[in-house]
Structure 1
Amino acid sequence: MEKGGKLFHPGLSLDCVIFGFHDNQLKVLLLKMEHTDHWALPGGFVYKDETLEAAATRVLQERTGINDIFLQQFHVFGDPARSDRKYHSNRLKKLGIEAEKDHWLLNRFITVGFYALVEFSHVTPTPDNTSVACEWQHLHNIGNLFMDHRQILDKALETLRQQLNYQPIGYKLLPDKFTMPELQTLYETILGKKLDRRNFQRRMNSYGILRRLKETRKGGAHKAPYLYSFNLRKYQQALLEGLQGGW
């Protein structure tokens, strides 16, 4: 902690919004902060010889246990009042460190926002050394967050909606095999609105990015729906051109 001023780029941090999809719910991975009731987004500092992308990948690997993560930088947050100096000062005291006013942790920090898309079942949530828990939370059940992390989360969701036709969001969040209702629920959850079932199915099929498998989803009370998978080559090509039409 005391050597951080020599190791890390001064005044620069990053925060990551990690999205997962499970039980037809969009979830966000959060950390329960030590010595506070607040939850926070996973984040960290940037080593002086490290790129932003490398720093974000490192933080995400430590929090999720996954190496190959889809990652997008989406915004920079630079409000002069965003840093919680009181929290950091109290934490330093608990560690037995009497910090001067110019201690590196008490300076103003500009943070770079990244969002990540992960397959829920592949993640092993792991706390860092400033937190006591690391858990998935349903997007709509998230309460108060640390500092400006609610603003960061809201901006990430806004970006996700804007990029729905240009990034492999369905491919990254869904399992390898999924039903059309599950795909529709994912889109509805991200967009925050209901979509007509027939129009959605017709539109997704028109893109030519899905393969309908011979398997069906067993166990429901109704007729078992067919399983689908993405044709990755066609999906990537379609995203380069942009899936046509707004939602």
Structure 2
Amino acid sequence: MTKKITLAKTSFETKEFLDHISLDCVIFGFHDNELKVLTLQLKRTLENALPGGFLKKEETLEEAAKRVLKERTGLDQIFLKQFKVFSDPLRSKNNPQKPDYIDDDLPYDLDFFAKRFITIGYYALVDFTKVNATPDVFSQKCEWKNITESSNYILDHYEIIRDALEVLRLQLRHQPIGYNLLPDKFTMPELQKLYETILGRELDRRNFQRKILSYKILNKLGERKKGGAHKSPFLYEFNLEKYQKALNEGLSGTW
């Protein structure tokens, strides 16, 4: 009989999964001018982990990643990209047969977590305000952390976050960024702050505006941001058709 546990709309049947292939999702969000990543706080140990899990026997990696994202965020149609395979033989060597974050009364196969497994890294870009953060069965919290918070992650999960950020920076050099991270309407300073946060450095305001407008991926709206001064900045939105074209064909130049 297959063992099963259920919590927060998440099911886990060890015999339903492959025990040597997993995936970990670095889910980026932008809030209060900070780039954040969605994390899980494990039971008992209170360690941090990335949302992820093992691959089901009857699903593709992309289906598994979308399943994990849906369960943790409540969202679908998310920008999602596979970026790296993590296969260091030592990454899971010290996993105990019974991880400390597993409750005694939860059924599972004793050796399932003790085996060596390879994980595939995905990163996703989401609108922070639309996420319904939901913990999995092994966690007591699902919460946002600043990407600079590097302590108390299990295995190589902070390394996975760093690598995802590097790939995101590379994408920013050749493709547009922002549609999945910003609200529908935003100001030019907000978009510039997003780019600066990802790149980790300041950008010249005039050069940034000239360059981003040259890509023709923005629509300037006939309204200003509410709640500001009389000359508060104008609002923009992404032109989705041109934005998608830029994603497919790439952008010229670099930041």
| TM-score computed with the length of structure 2 as normaliser | 0.89
Specify the alignment match of 1:31 in structure 2. Answer: 40
Native 8 Å contact 1:44 1:59 kept in 2: yes
Question: Is the alpha carbon distance of 1:98 and 1:73 closer, same or farther for their aligned partners in structure 2, counting shifts above 3 Å?
Answer: closer
What are the equivalent positions in structure 2 for 1:1-247 lying under 5 Å apart? Answer: 4-83=13-92, 84-86=94-96, 88-91=98-101, 94-95=104-105, 103-220=111-228, 223-247=231-255
Question: Is the alpha carbon distance of 1:87 and 1:147 closer, same or farther for their aligned partners in structure 2, counting shifts above 3 Å?
Answer: farther
- 1:237 is displaced (CA, Å) by 1.7
Give 5+ residue unaligned stretches, structure 1: none
AA in 2 matched with 1:65: G
Question: Is the alpha carbon distance of 1:80 and 1:112 closer, same or farther for their aligned partners in structure 2, counting shifts above 3 Å?
Answer: same
| Whole-angstrom CA distance in 2 between matches of 1:168 and 1:69 | 15
- Number of aligned pairs? 245
Q: Secondary structure at the match of 1:125?
A: coil
Identity level (%): 58
AA in 2 matched with 1:41: L
Q: Secondary structure at the match of 1:194?
A: coil
- 1:145 is displaced (CA, Å) by 1.1
- 1:92 is displaced (CA, Å) by 5.5
| Whole-angstrom CA distance in 1 between matches of 2:90 and 2:159 | 13
| Whole-angstrom CA distance in 2 between matches of 1:240 and 1:180 | 23
Specify the alignment match of 2:8 in structure 1. Answer: none
**RMSD over aligned Cα atoms:** 2.1
| Whole-angstrom CA distance in 2 between matches of 1:243 and 1:85 | 43
| Whole-angstrom CA distance in 2 between matches of 1:191 and 1:32 | 27
The answer to which structure has the higher helix fraction is 1
| TM-score computed with the length of structure 1 as normaliser | 0.91
AA in 2 matched with 1:231: N
- 1:81 is displaced (CA, Å) by 1.4
